[in-house]
Amino acid sequence: MPQRAARPRGRRRPAARAVAGAALAAALLAGCASTTSVVDAGETTSAPPLPENLWNVPPRTSPSASPEGAPPYQPEPLPGLTLPSGGDLRGVSAQEVIANDPNVDREYKQSVQRCTSGSGCGLRRPELRDITGDGKPELLVVIDPDPRLQPTDGFSPELETLLYVYWSDEGRVHQIYANALMENTQVDIQGRDLVIRQTREPGWPGGLRTVTTDRYRWNTELRQLEQNSTVTAPAPGNPPNKPTSPSPKSSPKPSPKAASGTS
């Protein structure tokens, strides 16, 4: 009788490998069924669209230059007030300038006329300082409102302490600055710059005191004061200087007829 060929050792039949693989997969699935499940997450959330640029404004090559063909800004002179030939603001009183300025409200003109020195209202000591660099001084005046003229209807805004700056050119007087001075404000001259610093105390424990500094510098070509503002938080124990003269409480809104920044 013929003998069968010996089967090679170490080899399995394909069917045996398939059965073994199926058994191993079933064991793995059975072991993971208690800890893992598939959850339907619904629709896939897509990423937000990227921004699409529409316009760009390039930096100006000459920010101080007037637009081509446009005349420089011309402040309106005060009507009815002309300086003597060759004169400047040293030859006119601050009361006369205020009286001839149509942009000063009636209540402030009355405060200048009716209040006596030391009464806490009226015109403070005027200052003559050259902030335009033309060799002639500008007139800086601060007016505190008369408390008797404050509104009592509960709706009208309080009268505020106002700062005005006047400039003379070819015998005419121009108002080049008008703005309200809020409480805790200090007005300085640094070189030819008009510097206004306002200190804001924190409104909650642990808050930082902040100082807003508005620096105004005369632009000869544009004939106006240009503003540059910064906000800083002084280091603890080194508070900024506070105004030496008291300033009444006021709201941050400027006077309706007083131009903010420049006039």
**What whole-number distance in Å separates Cα of residue 209 and Cα of residue 140?**
28
Detail the DSSP E strand segments found in the chain: 77-82, 122-123, 127-129, 138-144, 161-169, 172-181, 185-190, 193-200, 210-219, 224-232
| Mean pLDDT over each residue of the chain, to the nearest integer | 75
**What whole-number distance in Å separates Cα of residue 29 and Cα of residue 27?**
5
Q: What is the pLDDT of residue 60?
A: 54
Instruction: Answer with the residue of higher pLDDT: 187 or 59.
Output: 187
pLDDT interval class at 130 (50, 70, 90): very high
Q: Helix, strand, or coil here: 228?
A: strand
The percent of residues in the chain predicted with pLDDT above 90, rounded, is 44
pLDDT digits (tens, 9 = 90+) for 202-261: 878 878 889 999 999 999 999 999 999 888 876 555 554 544 444 444 434 444 444 444
pLDDT digits (tens, 9 = 90+) for 143-152: 999 999 999 9
Rg (CA), the chain: 39
pLDDT at 32 over 90: no
pLDDT interval class at 155 (50, 70, 90): very high
Beta-carbon contacts of residue 230 (< 8 Å; ≥ 6 apart): 212, 213, 215
Mean pLDDT within 187-195:
92
Q: What is the pLDDT of residue 206?
A: 78
Q: What is the pLDDT of residue 61?
A: 53
Query: What global pTM score does this model have?
Result: 0.62
pLDDT at 67 over 90: no
pLDDT at 1 over 60: no
Q: What is the pLDDT of residue 176?
A: 95
**What whole-number distance in Å separates Cα of residue 89 and Cα of residue 57?**
42
Mean pLDDT within 165-173:
94
pLDDT interval class at 46 (50, 70, 90): confident
